[in-house]
Chain A
Amino acid sequence: MAVKYLPGEVLKVSKLAWGWTWFGFLLALDIAIPWYVLTNVEKMSGAFLFWTIWVVVAIISAFIILLKWRGVEE
């Protein structure tokens, strides 16, 4: 795939791929941790705390990307 694009475009494809991979990883944690690691923890420090921290990580990830956006001429 990389040979079809100029060097700059290879980087763009790579960023996109990294973005999707990171998102997939977050989704895997969404199920794996509450159902398989914290399933017997009947406390607020269990699934409740996990999901709260987990989504904060997702939000920060989105901010890191969107803060790099810059204006484009119409």
Chain B
Amino acid sequence: MSATFWVWLGIAIYIAVGLGIALMARRQLGVGVSEFFLANRRVGGFVSALSYSATTYSAFMMVGLVGLTYFTGVGALGFELTYLCGMFMMVFFLPRFWLVGRKYGYVSPMELLSDRYQNKGVGATAAILALVFLVPYGAVQLMGVGYLMYGVSGGAIPVVAGIIIAVVCAIAWSSIAGLRSVAWTDAFQALIMIVTSAAVLGVVVAALGGFGSFFSRLEEATPGLLTVPAASGAWNINMFIGLALPWLFFLISNPQVSQRLFIPKSVTAMKQMLGGFLIFGFIYTLISVLWGFGATLLVPGLENADLATPKLLSLTMIPTGLAIVVMIGITAAAISTIDSILLTLSSVWARDIHKGLINRRVSEKGELRVGQWVIPIMAVIAFVFAWWAAGKTGLSFMIAPLSAAASAGLLMAVPTIFGAFFWKRATALGAMVSCIAGAIVVLIFQITGWRPIGWWPGTWGFIVCVILFVGVSLFTRPPKDKAEEFIGYLREALKKGNFI
């Protein structure tokens, strides 16, 4: 039987297993908004860690980062590890989000901002930012699935078919039991992802004669890829900062991950979530980059670097069964990111835009219904974007730069989030003006391709954003009582838990 048949069979099994897990999760589903979007804040450490890992690491890693390494070299490792180093900030933000989430009952990070700044407009502004910029980020996951299925099936499965499969699964996983189905499927797939990708790396390294021989061949064949800015000059400092800056603050700027900071059921679960993620992230990043280097030796000369993983998996040295399992693992990881994004966007729309601005008297049931309607709508928008971008070539349309570009827009909420936790003088107007102006700068620079003195859109947007946030805040009136109460509560609670 052909590889295409086995690919289809693998996809069918994946969908059946995923559906089974999601339906099992549904049996534990309670009622209410907090239950649907946050699993009632009762998720254990192990599932939290794996779910956080699968949501963060997706098609971007095993397709996008592999492609970026293939194309530009070791700078891709530095870029991705800068994100992991940024996770050090979790020691500041994880306890803070978790504590105030429990005390004030926040469902979304935007609701936190609205309450802290005593202005619904702040949450709505951050919500719109998320709606605008998470669509391209979700779309790149879809592209990853499309490329993967196309490559592994030898072109028999068109890119658009892979995209459609991913969209349908993401809608199902996020709709069936909300965060419970998302977290359970995430956890299962994260295990498959790391085990199978490590197995393929083992096969590749063995085929190249072991790590020593692999590294020697790399140093002989492509020495320019082992340094920065690289022989091609790709990794100049401006590009590195332009890509890494949004990644550095990913943990708080991307609501689909910052919302997860509300869900651990205890401090022990929090510790397991962060510790587990750091270990997973380190291993998975090294595997992805080594895959990219392996591809430079085994499948050189590709025009579209995002096809490096599919081409690697289609080599005869990789057993077909293993290649298909890995393909399904990556597909599932991509879908787990999209369904998390869809779920977060639906909660943000329902809580921060519909309830916050449109209909403040909406019942909890009505709010939930609105959120559930948003899931397929956002999925279709992401599908259209992915379909459009999948036909393009060049660095700007590669998965990794596209992901970082989307995160550049989300970066504009970072000063507002810092202010909420650390600066009593921060004001709602400062928050809104900085988010809007920063996002406009990013969009204009992104669309026109304009990069004054070589700095990337996210860098310019962030500078404008920080200046406006501080400047406008200093000239406007802060919500003094709320700031005192919010930060005062945290000061006491942090002390009790020995947090810093």
A71 touches B219 (CB 8 A): no
Partner of B498, one of A44, A54, A69: A69
- The reply on B320 being an interface residue by CB < 8 A is no
Partner of A62, one of B266, B267, B274: B274
Instruction: Give residues in B with beta carbon < 8 Å to A.
Output: 74-75, 77-78, 81-82, 84-85, 87-92, 95, 99, 102, 215, 218-219, 223-224, 226-229, 237, 240-241, 244, 248, 266-268, 270-271, 274-275, 278-279, 282, 286, 491, 493-500
How would you classify the secondary structure of chain B's contact residues: helix, strand, loop or mixed?
A: helix
Closest Cβ–Cβ distance, residue B1 to chain A (whole Å): 41
Q: Could you tell me the distance between the alpha carbons of A68 and B270 in the complex, rounded to whole angstroms?
A: 12
Q: A30-B78, A39-B228, A70-B267 are in contact. Are A23 and B495 (CB under 8 A)?
A: no
A 21-52 to B, binary, CB cutoff 8 A, 1 in contact else 0: 00100110011001100111111101110011
A62 touches B500 (CB 8 A): no
Closest Cβ–Cβ distance, residue B114 to chain A (whole Å): 23
Closest Cβ–Cβ distance, residue B358 to chain A (whole Å): 33
Specify the chain B residue showing the minimal Cβ separation from A67.
B271
Partner of B78, one of A23, A34, A40, A61: A34
Taking CB atoms, residues of chain B closer than 8 Å to A68 are: 498
Q: Could you tell me the distance between the alpha carbons of A48 and B230 in the complex, rounded to whole angstroms?
A: 12
Closest Cβ–Cβ distance, residue B121 to chain A (whole Å): 30
A44 touches B275 (CB 8 A): no
- The reply on A66 being an interface residue by CB < 8 A is yes
Specify the chain B residue showing the minimal Cβ separation from A56.
B282
B88 touches A26 (CB 8 A): yes
Partner of B228, one of A43, A47, A65: A47
Can you give 9 contacting A-B residue pairs, CB < 8 Å?
Answer: A9-B491, A16-B92, A19-B91, A35-B228, A56-B282, A62-B87, A66-B271, A69-B499, A71-B268
Taking CB atoms, residues of chain B closer than 8 Å to A7 are: none
B92 touches A55 (CB 8 A): no
Q: A41-B227, A47-B226 are in contact. Are A72 and B496 (CB under 8 A)?
A: yes
Taking CB atoms, residues of chain A closer than 8 Å to B279 are: 59
Specify the chain B residue showing the minimal Cβ separation from A18.
B500
B282 touches A59 (CB 8 A): yes
B74 touches A48 (CB 8 A): yes
Taking CB atoms, residues of chain A closer than 8 Å to B275 are: 63, 66
A65 touches B500 (CB 8 A): yes
Q: Could you tell me the distance between the alpha carbons of A73 and B95 in the complex, rounded to whole angstroms?
A: 13
Closest Cβ–Cβ distance, residue A68 to chain B (whole Å): 5
Taking CB atoms, residues of chain B closer than 8 Å to A74 are: 102
Taking CB atoms, residues of chain A closer than 8 Å to B226 are: 41-44, 46-48
